[in-house]
Amino acid sequence: MTYHLIQKQLKILPLEQVVSNIHGVWNLSSDQGSLGTFIVTNIRFVWFADINEGFNISLPYLQVDSIRLRDSKFGKALVIKSTERSGNFILGFKVDPEEKLTILHKELTSLQTVFLSNPIFGVDYKWSGMKSNLNDNKKSLFDDLEVVEDPKNEIGNTLAAYLADEDHMKDRLPVYSNELGLAIEAIKEGFTIKKLWEVIPSN
């Protein structure tokens, strides 16, 4: 048993549809060739050996570099090359009569063209409700938001005054802060850590 075959039956992936199922297709990877079944779907092709389904291949159109008909020592063959990223390997298949092979070639090239223009990744998602969902999320995000009024422009004044130190030529020596539990640059006279970190000034 393989992850995509159960008792010679293809496990269909989400949004996958079987287009054709062809028996008597030779895989030309060995000197004698191996007889098997070739399944064409809207997203991939699958071949498995009739005597051992563990000998198989499942290749999505996304990983197919080229699909051609070529002459081989077995006669006219369907040659499929995978992309470099997926291993850059070459597969050869033969089916009789030759007209059947030509039909298979046309079917695969057409399906790959359709797939690449409109890829199917197994997820069906509708965008229509996306805008309203985003608006709902925005509303819920801002429901708990509290606007802080600052009529006297006091927020940040302490920090601004602290940073506007024209006489500050070099960094002050570090001192240990009990409030923070770490070493900090010594704070200027007239300022405290609490005041510098205070967003809303206390009265």
pLDDT digits 0-9 by tens, 112-143: 999 999 988 877 767 665 555 666 655 666 66
19 compared with 128, residue with greater pLDDT: 19
Q: What is the mean pLDDT of residues 9-21?
A: 90
Contact 64, 81 (CB under 8 A): yes
SS3 91: strand
Domains of the chain: 5-117 (2.30.29.30), 152-203 (no CATH)
Q: Distance between CA atoms of 57 and 73, rounded to whole angstroms?
A: 22
